[in-house]
Structures are given as structure tokens and as C-alpha cells.
Amino acid sequence: MENNEILRVENLTIKTKTFELLHDSSFSTNKSQIVLIQGANGSGKTSILKAIMGFHERKVSIDSCKVFYKGELINHNNINEFRKKIAYVEQEDFFTARTPYEYVKQSLLLSRNPNEKIIRSKLKETVASDEEKIVNLFKHFHKESIMFKRFSTPLSGGELRITSLMAAFIRDSDLYILDEPINKLDYKTAAIVGNYISDLSARGASVLVITHCRMFMKSDKAYEIYENTLKKLEKVPLPCRQ
């Protein structure tokens, strides 16, 4: 393993009951590197994230996959610790808090202590440095207006997506895994997200972006799911794969 390698996935095979989405595919990400995995809708992109995170899907099976984080094989004994250390955004937005501000704060606290009961008791506590960090993040994405909106009131798809992203970005991690990060975002916000991802990489983080569209992303390495294989692209891919 290279000294700067953060994530390595080996021999990943993804199947449904009727066909094989991905066959015996491997890839890796290094420190200070943005890696794109691009593919059409339904090609198995989201299942790659679920395989890395150890999430199970009812209609999809993951065969013969090994995941290494900084050289350590991830298994049922250390998967929860792995999830705590990294930052990830799933394709679908799901919230376990009352407001975007509370959700982002919850993510920050959970990155330090995975005990949800303790976190719930600390949500009402105020730590000046944390409050400033959270508020500055909302300001960076020009989303101060949604900080204290209730999820029970109508928020747009883009507002929900940027909340999920900020909950990941607030974490001080060396690995960010983002599934369709600019989905539902307006042009301006998507551009800010793309620049923020570049900044994360410049600060030393490894960023894995799973997407059908890389319009706002510059990358150091890119793969495309093509005919159930993960093909490394030698040239910059086209902006979108519908």
C-alpha cells in the first residue's frame, strides 16, 4: 500500500437477482485526491457507497468485496469506528433532528463521540467555537436563512441536499464519500460545493464522489461504470451521464 493511500476497495461484485451490475472491480483513493466514479442512473453507483459503508440492500447483493481504510481491513468488528472517522453523504436525504442547524451540530458532535444518548443531551449546550464553526459553514453556502427552519415545514430539495452536505463538511475527516453531491442544487450552490470539495482535497483529505454528473468537479482520477466493469478514464469525462 502506498503511504498516502486512504481507501482501497478490492474485488467488488454487485448483483441483483437478474443481472450483475459490477464485476470484480477495484479502486483506491489517496490523500489530497478527488476521485470520481461516474455512471448512468441504475448502473450501481449508490451500491458502491453502501458496500464501502457496510449497508445492506434488499434487492442487491455484494459479493467478494474487501474494503481497506489506511491499510486496515474493515469488517464487522471495526465498521462502526470506521463510520465515525469518515464523512459520507447518501443519495437520499434523511434527518434525525428538528432543524438544519441542529442536524449539522449533531453530526459534529457524533464525529467526536458516537454515543447518541450523550449527543442528544449535549445538543442544547453551547460551545462558542462550535457555534462559530457551524454558523460560518451556513454563511459560506449562503444558507443562513434555513438554519432554524423546521424540517416539518417545507424545505426545497436543494435545501435538504445542502444540509446533508454541510453535516458531512463540518466533520474534520481525512475521507469524504459523497453520493450525488450536486443533485437538486442550483447552479450557484453547486459551483460553491465543487470549490469546497477542491478545498478539502487541498487541505489533505481524500474525496470520493459518486455521480452521474461531474460538471462542477475537478478530479485527480476518474472511473466510469461501463458494461458492468469499472473503467479508469484517461481523459476528462463528459459533464453528465444520464
**Per-residue pLDDT tens over the stretch 133-165:** 999 999 999 999 999 999 988 899 999 999 999
What stretches of the chain show up as alpha helix (H) in DSSP? Answer: 45-53, 79-85, 100-110, 116-122, 128-140, 157-169, 187-202
Per-residue pLDDT at 110 exceeds 70? yes
Q: Please compute the mean of the pLDDT values over residues 86-93 and round it to a whole number.
A: 90
* Grid cell locating 188: 450557484
Identify the residue with better confidence: 132 or 15: 132
Supply the pLDDT for residue 212.
81
Supply the pLDDT for residue 242.
46
Supply the pLDDT for residue 126.
65
Q: Are 53 and 210 in contact (CB under 8 A)?
A: no
Supply the pLDDT for residue 218.
81
Identify the residue with better confidence: 238 or 74: 74
Supply the pLDDT for residue 60.
62
Q: Are 88 and 177 in contact (CB under 8 A)?
A: yes
Identify the residue with better confidence: 55 or 172: 172
Angle formed by the axes of helices 157-169 and 128-140, to 10°?
140
* Grid cell locating 168: 458531512
* High-pLDDT (> 70) share of the chain, %: 86
How does pLDDT run across 24-77, given as a tens digit for each residue?
889 999 999 999 998 877 777 888 888 888 886 666 667 678 999 999 999 889
